[in-house]
Amino acid sequence: MLERIKASLPSLAPAEQRVGKLVLADPRAFANLPVTELADRSHVSKPTVVRFCRSMGYDGLSDFKLKLAGSVSEGVPFIHRSVDVDDKTSDIAVKVIDNTVAAFLKYRNDASSFALEHAAQALAATQKTNRRIEFYGVGNSGIVAQDAQHKFFRLGVNAIAYSDGHMQVMSASMLKPGDCAVIISNSGRTRDLMDACDIAKKQGATTIVITASGSPLASAGHIHLTADHPEGYDKYSPMVSRLLHLLIIDILATTVALRIGEELQPNLRDMKNNLRSKRYT
């Protein structure tokens, strides 16, 4: 987006050029400042600021600022810089949060709605027929699998999670048609998860894989939900891939809950009331 603005500057009127240069000089500030201050800093009128935004193909200032904020979050400062031993806590906080937000925004822009809908339909069908949904993961992905079990259990789904490779293979061997196995892996190269996916598929279960594109696991399941976020292992880096996987699970769980409809509400209400009664006052 910033490159396009830079390339368009020569074709703009002088006043609009000043607005464009302000964007390029500090895109983060531009995305957060009110129109009055933007006009003052550019030495132009407020209508000129809006006119610049429209000349760039956006509906107005609000639309332009929204897209700019997303573009900046995916792009430059901090996002591609690792945390460093000399960083202050405030610097680390900004880097970790920006890196996470960038991953979420990238997923929002790149996610396949068809694959998500296909996966949600498969999970909802399994819930409707009271069949099993199993979640497999190892390491950080194992944590995501446990979280997924919790979310789907609340929906009245016969859900279970395994993070041990032997248990995954044994359990996959007992799946039947109508069951569903969700395999979660950042690298998509874990041998046990590959084996479990292959066995579940042979047993007739629907297999949903949440993993990086181009990995062996990506082509092993029936439905692939792409989750691309390479982690840097040369030094400490936040495990953003785990948060991305949790986000995908949230999307699926929310969609399935809406598919179940109003019949789910009494159960959720009873659960919350029973849990609330267990709390200390």
Residues 4-32: tens digit of each pLDDT: 899 999 999 999 999 999 999 888 888 87
Looking at the structure, tell me whether residues 15 and 121 fall in a common domain.
no
Position 175 in a domain: yes
**Is there a domain that residue 85 lies in?**
no
- Predicted confidence at residue 107, as pLDDT, reads 86
Same-domain pairing of 263 and 154: yes
Closest CA to 22 of 74, 59, 61, 73: 61
- Whether this prediction's pTM lies above 0.95 is answered by no
Q: At what angle do helices 46-55 and 14-25 cross, to 10 degrees?
A: 80
**44 within a domain of the structure (yes/no):** yes
pLDDT digits 0-9 by tens, 43-63 = 999 999 999 999 998 888 888
d(C-alpha 261, C-alpha 245), whole Å = 25
| Domain CATH code at residue 27 | 1.10.10.10
Is the residue at 106 inside a domain?
A: no
Do 64 and 158 lie in one domain? The reply is no
Q: Would you state the structure tokens that stand for residue 172, as one six-digit string?
A: 């996959």
Instruction: Give the chain's mean pLDDT.
Output: 86
Q: Interhelix angle for 140-153 vs 240-260, to 10°?
A: 20
Q: Identify the pLDDT of residue 182.
A: 98
Q: Can you read off the two tokens belonging to residue 247?
A: 């986000």
The whole domain housing 125 covers 112-277
Q: Tell me the CATH number at 140.
A: 3.40.50.10490
**Mean of the pLDDT values across residues 120-129?**
93
| Cα maximum dimension of the chain | 71
* Domain endpoint, select from 17, 51, 72: 72
pLDDT in tens, 220-268: 999 999 998 766 655 455 578 889 999 999 999 999 988 888 777 777 7
Q: Looking at 50, 72, 94, which one is the last position of a domain?
A: 72
Q: Tell me: do 58 and 163 sit in the same domain.
A: no
What is the number of domains present in the chain? 2
Q: 189 versus 237: which is more confidently predicted?
A: 189
